[in-house]
């Protein structure tokens, strides 16, 4: 029987999730395009991560949505996008904001995750699968649409050429200033995390950085503007002073170019570690409250460090038991 879904010519995807989730969806994006080689496919993404997906070759247009917009702004945005006359809307996010946005944009056929009454806004409801990695969850979405899964599920993130040049200039300058050795391994530390419970203690990151340098490697701290004070505090506790601090000094494209040049990234469970995995850099990720089976960096070269306490993974933004042992009990020696 012919799959009528494949007859769609003007398609809109929506995904307003975090950086890591957007990267997990890149195999879905690639295989969606293989199913629709001649169709127009656009995507709406969180404006904070627009630069991450701007160069993705599988979309005709990447549209930024600001999650801080008012209801009026969001309504006007939806009405403007509606003029594109999409005949298929694909919602791989599935919260109420994206459900209502897609409903206002009004594609001819609307498909997405149901639950909590959302199905009334959808023409086809996709059931969630809770026991798989998010990459596989997205690819199952594709299969449940009745589309073909063509090839492996490798992540994909193209490194911008201008960002490569900018990062190389930054590194050349810092290596000269700090008198660092270019023939040593460069190891990046990412200390941030969207939730406080995802953050390994600062003094342990300081001890880890010192140990990495003692073992004959160079250290670079990475992260966004919100991580700057934390990293400055960590560096102030270190015994060594030969580190590069790139925290808050790179945009997303430059972050991808920077971690591509590193030999290893050690990180809490947060967006930059998934950027590193997507560009092929080996990672070690410290997991606390979040479920590593669903959210670990995707690929065989990556390692995770976690405790075996019974209360994890709880998925909570603040420790329900008030002790944060899932992170506190991880020692520097565990990150070998």
Q: What kind and span of H or E run contains 189?
A: strand 186-190
- Split at pLDDT 50, 70, 90, the class of 1 is very low
Residues of the chain with CATH 3.40.50.2000: 4-144, 161-334
pLDDT digits (tens, 9 = 90+) for 82-98: 999 999 999 999 899 99
Q: How far apart are CA 69 and CA 54, in angstroms?
A: 21
pLDDT digits (tens, 9 = 90+) for 301-332: 999 999 989 899 988 888 888 888 899 999 99
Asked if residue 116 has pLDDT above 90, the reply is: no
**Average pLDDT of the segment spanning 49-69:** 95
**Average pLDDT of the segment spanning 220-235:** 95
**Average pLDDT of the segment spanning 235-245:** 92
- State the pLDDT at residue 3: 66
Q: 3-state SS of 218-286?
A: EEEEECCHHHHHHHHHHHHHCCCCCEEECCCCCCHHHHHHHHHCCCEEEEECCHHHHHHHHCCCCEEEE
**161-334 domain in CATH 3.40.50.2000?**
yes
pTM of the model: 0.92
**Average pLDDT of the segment spanning 58-82:** 97
pLDDT digits (tens, 9 = 90+) for 189-220: 999 888 888 999 999 999 999 999 999 999 99
For domain 4-144, the CATH superfamily is Glycogen Phosphorylase B; (3.40.50.2000)
Q: How far apart are CA 82 and CA 84, in angstroms?
A: 5
- State the pLDDT at residue 269: 93
Q: How far apart are CA 108 and CA 181, in angstroms?
A: 59
């Amino acid at each position: 029987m012919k799959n009528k879904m494949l007859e769609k010519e003007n398609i809109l995807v929506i995904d307003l999730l975090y950086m890591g989730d957007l990267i997990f969806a890149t195999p879905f994006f690639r295989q969606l395009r293989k199913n629709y080689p001649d169709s127009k496919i656009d995507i709406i993404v969180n404006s904070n991560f627009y630069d991450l997906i701007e160069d993705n070759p599988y979309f005709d247009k990447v549209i930024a949505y600001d999650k801080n917009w008012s209801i009026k702004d969001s309504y006007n945005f939806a009405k403007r996008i509606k003029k594109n006359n999409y005949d298929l809307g694909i919602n791989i996010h599935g919260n109420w904001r994206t459900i209502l946005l897609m409903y206002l944009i009004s594609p001819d056929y609307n498909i997405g995750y149901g639950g909590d009454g959302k199905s009334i806004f959808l023409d086809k409801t996709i059931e969630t699968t809770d026991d798989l990695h998010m990459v596989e969850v997205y690819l199952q979405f594709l299969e449940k649409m009745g589309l073909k899964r063509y090839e492996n599920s490798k992540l994909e993130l193209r490194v911008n050429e201008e960002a490569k040049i900018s990062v190389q200039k930054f590194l050349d300058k810092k290596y000269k200033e700090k008198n660092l050795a270019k023939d040593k391994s460069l190891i990046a530390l990412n200390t941030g995390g969207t939730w406080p419970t995802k953050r390994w203690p600062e003094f342990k990151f300081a001890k880890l950085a010192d140990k990495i340098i003692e073992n004959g490697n160079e250290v670079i701290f990475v992260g966004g503007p919100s991580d700057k004070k934390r990293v400055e505090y960590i560096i102030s506790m270190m015994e060594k002073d030969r580190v590069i601090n790139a925290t808050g000094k790179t945009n997303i494209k430059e972050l991808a170019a920077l971690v591509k040049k590193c030999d290893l990234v050690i990180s809490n469970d947060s967006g930059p570690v998934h950027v590193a995995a997507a560009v092929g850099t080996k990672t070690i990720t410290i997991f606390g409250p979040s479920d590593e089976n669903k959210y670990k960096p995707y690929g065989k070269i990556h390692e995770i460090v976690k405790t075996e306490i019974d209360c994890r993974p709880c998925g909570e933004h603040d420790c329900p038991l008030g002790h944060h042992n899932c992170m506190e009990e991880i020692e520097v020696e565990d990150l070998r």
